Amino acid sequence: MFDNPKEEFKFYLMTYTIFLLCMFIVIFFTSCSNSNLLSNNVKPDSTHYSTIFNEIIDQDSITHWYTKLYDGTHWCYYHHKYEEVAKSVRR
């Protein structure tokens, strides 16, 4: 097909460049840039009742999410930090 190796190289280089450009255009225009799942915008809210976490609302009306409920220090999945958990005695 080609008599000159330089011409063949140019042809394949241009073909490869056009292919990469087309792939970039397709990926760019079909990306999920507006999705909250790819960013850190996903936050739990108190209207969502999870089947994994125990949702607790404390005396200050602040929502907390724990996986286990007993007295001690637990990881709060809502606030992303360790918190002290204790039973409240109602009188």
Q: What is the model's pLDDT at position 90?
A: 57
pLDDT in tens, 6-59: 889 999 999 999 999 999 888 887 765 544 444 444 454 545 555 678 888 887
44, 65 Cβ separation under 8 angstroms: yes
H or E element in which residue 42 lies: none
Q: Which residue bears the tokens 């140019």?
A: 10
85, 74 Cβ separation under 8 angstroms: yes
pTM for this model (two decimals): 0.40
pLDDT at 63 over 80: yes
The mean pLDDT of 72-89, rounded to a whole number, is: 83
Q: What is the model's pLDDT at position 86?
A: 79
50, 44 Cβ separation under 8 angstroms: yes
